[in-house]
Amino acid sequence: MIKSIIPLSSIIALRFLGLFLVLPVLSAYAMNLKGATTEIVGIVVGGYA
């Protein structure tokens, strides 16, 4: 049973790692856009997640 759980858990962990590595970059990029406010950036980040 462990042999079937470890690969699946690794795939899911890497998927979440990739998902959450983008969030700091996305928020920093969005704050540099013209007309960006913290509320709009928060909505964008919330919509991505």
Per-residue pLDDT reduced to its tens digit, 13-42: 999 998 889 888 988 999 999 999 999 999
SS3 (DSSP) at 33: coil
Does pTM top 0.85 for this prediction? no
Round to whole Å and give the CA distance between 22 and 47: 13
Tell me what pLDDT residue 7 has.
92
**At a CB cut-off of 8 Å and minimum separation 6, what does 49 contact?**
19, 23
Tell me what pLDDT residue 5 has.
93
pLDDT at 10 over 90: yes
Q: How confident is the model at residue 48 (pLDDT cuts 50, 70, 90)?
A: confident
